[in-house]
Amino acid sequence: MLWVIAIMVMLTVVAAAGALALSNMVSAARADVSGSATLQIVEPDPQQRAAQAEAAQGVLAADRAVAGFRAVPEEEIAELLEPWLGTGENSEAVPLPAIIDVEMRSGVQNADYERLETALQEVAPDARIDAQSEWLAPVLSALSALKWMAFALIALLASVSAAAVWLASRNALGGNRATVEIVHLLGGSDDQIARIFQRSILIDAAVGGLLGFVAGILIISSLAAQFAALQSGMVAGGSLSAIDWLSIALVPLFAVGIAVYTARMTVLSSLRKSL
């Protein structure tokens, strides 16, 4: 009884934390990329490139869908590409593209990109603008599917836990049928008898719930420590908020509630069969 509750609470706590972290991660990633776009001008002639970049910035400054932009300095681009191109001296040999990070206004539409593209085409024929969300879209939708799977999993796990707790407290009472009958014959009222068992199940369930909760939290924090070691920006977006922690803390309380309710209903229904 105690261990069934402990194990079910532990599993549910870990699953809930995982699902919530994943869900936070997806929302953070989506918020991060949805408003961002990158403008590239691939043109070998530096003069031409600079001129097109200049003109493109003029278009961006005039467009109503653009919130802001920043031309990425050449050194930064060189740094970015260093792993592929090697350092410095032959930078002349491989022409770098001009890159402008563009921040779009929220609620940006595909039509905005199309309009922006045609406007750019006129002044900077070599410019290409890509919304980051476009190429991150498959990743995001995969993450999102994963998130929903995690939620479905915890819904499943929660109902299995509830059923396990229900069965465990029924079993715990099965062994006490004789006691129920005796106290009944000695003049105990239904409510009195139910309260005796609620109390004993409450103690078991509370201890089990606490053990499971502590074990679950230990697992979560060791996982969190391992993910934090990855130092990836995306994992950082997966940290849990106070409300998330609160809902995780509700798991053992919920388990105890089910156990006590089951104890009461089981005793009352078995008593109602007697005179």
Partner 1 sequence: MAAQIPLQNDSDFRSTGPSETEIVHFDNVGLRYGTDREVLSNISFTLFSSRFYFLTGASGAGKTSLLKLLYLAQRPSRGGIRMFGRDVITLPRDKLPAFRRRMGVVFQDFRLVDHLSAFDNVALPLRVSGVREADLREPVSDMLEWVGLAHRAEARPATLSGGEQQRVAIARAVIGRPEILIADEPTGNVDPEMAVKLMRLFEALNRLGTTVVVATHDVHLLRKVPESLIMRLSKGMLADPTGALRYPPRREGIRGAAG
Question: Rule CB under 8 A: which residues touch partner 1?
Answer: 178-179, 181-190, 192, 272, 274-275
Rounded distance, CA 200 to CA 205, Å?
9
Q: Cβ 145 to partner 1, closest distance in Å?
A: 52
Helix (H, G, I), strand (E, B) or coil at 131: strand
Exposed/middle/buried for residue 197 (C-beta within 10 Å: 0-12, 13-18, 19+): buried
Longest dimension (CA), the chain: 102
Helix (H) or strand (E) holding 41: strand 36-41
> How far apart, in whole angstroms, are the C-alpha atoms of residue 162 and residue 268?
19
In eight-state DSSP terms, residue 109 is -
Minimum CB separation of residue 161 from partner 1 in Å reads 28
Q: Which is nearer to partner 1, 242 or 275 (CB)?
A: 275
CB crowding 118-153: b at 16 or more within 10 Å, else e: ebbeeebebbebebbbeebeeeeeebbebbeebbee
Cβ nearer to partner 1, comparing 33 with 267: 267
Contact 238, 23 (CB under 8 A): no
Instruction: Retrieve residue 110's tokens.
Output: 């595909």
69 phi and psi angles, rounded to 5 deg: -155, 165
Which of 192, 241 has the CB closer to partner 1? 192
CB of 229 to partner 1, least distance (A): 51
The nearer residue to partner 1, 178 or 242, going by C-beta atoms, is 178
Q: In 10 A of CB 172, how many CB atoms? A: 21
Tell me the closest approach of the beta carbon of residue 20 to partner 1, in angstroms: 42
Q: How far is the CB of 255 from partner 1 (least distance, A)?
A: 25
Q: Measured from the CB atom, is 64 or 272 closer to partner 1? A: 272
- Separation CA 79–CA 71 (nearest Å): 15
Q: Which is nearer to partner 1, 236 or 268 (CB)?
A: 268
Q: How far is the CB of 181 from partner 1 (least distance, A)?
A: 8
Would you say 144 or 200 has its CB closer to partner 1? 200
Write the CA distances from 169 to 4, 87, 92, 100, integer angstroms.
Answer: 10, 70, 77, 64
Q: How far is the CB of 188 from partner 1 (least distance, A)?
A: 5
Contact between 37 and 240 under an 8 Å Cβ cutoff? The reply is: no
